[in-house]
Structure 1
Amino acid sequence: MTASVVSIVYVNDAPAAARFYNDLLGLSPTLETPEYITFNLGSGAELALWSGQFEGLSPEVPRTSEVCLAISGGRPDQINAIFKQWQSKGVTILHKPHDEGFGLTFLAADPDGNRIRVAPKD
């Protein structure tokens, strides 16, 4: 069986969210419909942005998951450089770089309040 992992993030406006993630990740969408847009992350992994599934989705809705961008190498200088780049773009930062059991990490949010963690790859 061949399978890929698709992480679906629910958003209010898929095209607007795609512009945010395009700017953040430097990737272009691989599939675009008015309500569902995907980005190929490589190695059988995709990020999908899906609108129309939750009416009135707002940043106040509690989030129980997060997208984690695992950085190859994951040295502190790499994590800090991404943090500074995102900060300069005006990305909402929820938790500045700090040490966890797996290394240096920080937590951000997209315009819909979905959590995005940057951490070292295992």
Structure 2
Amino acid sequence: MPSPIVFIVYVNDAPEAARFYADLLEIKPGFETPRYITFDLGGGAELALWSGHAEGLTPEVRRTSEVCLVLTGGPDVIDRRFEQWVAKGVRVVSEPHDEAFGRTFVVTDPDGNLIRVAPVD
């Protein structure tokens, strides 16, 4: 059995970020403290939001990674998700377009962390 894996996203305010991700991904946190909140993604993977030991991280700090949500169903599904998220008020970095791996777009969370939507490989 493989070991669980946790993807940590540094945020300024963990509860605020958790509300954003819960609404955006339509999931509920599985573990919550004031500075560290996780979401069970299934298959032994979790998304963690952590506001501890992140001195100097502000929305202006350039992020070097991204969270990627992969969807089944083709380009129309990607475009519909984009429209749903824009209606929620996300900041758009890259509108839907075609890449070598398929249809994709990128938005940010309130701290500037990148969130990509792409098709399942």
* Normalised TM-score (structure 1): 0.95
Q: Which amino acid aligns with 1:43?
A: G
1:36 match:
36
The runs of 5 or more residues in structure 2 that have no matched partner are: none
Partner-residue secondary structure (3-state), 1:96: strand
Q: Which amino acid aligns with 1:62?
A: R
Structure 1 stretch displaced more, 56-65 or 106-115: 56-65
Partner-residue secondary structure (3-state), 1:61: coil
Return the offset for 1:4.
1.6
2:78 match:
79
Return the offset for 1:2.
3.4
Q: What percentage of aligned pairs have identical amino acids? A: 65
1:69 match:
69
The runs of 5 or more residues in structure 1 that have no matched partner are: none
Return the offset for 1:56.
3.7
1:4 match:
4
Return the offset for 1:72.
2.5
Return the offset for 1:58.
1.4
1:26 match:
26
2:99 match:
100
Residues 46-61 of structure 1 aligned to structure 2 (within 5 Å): 46-61=46-61
> What CA RMSD, in Å, does the superposition of the two structures yield over aligned residues?
1.0
Return the offset for 1:55.
2.2
CA distance in 2, matches of 1:70, 1:5: 17
The ranges of structure 1 where at least 4 consecutive aligned residues each deviate by more than 3 angstroms after the TM superposition are none
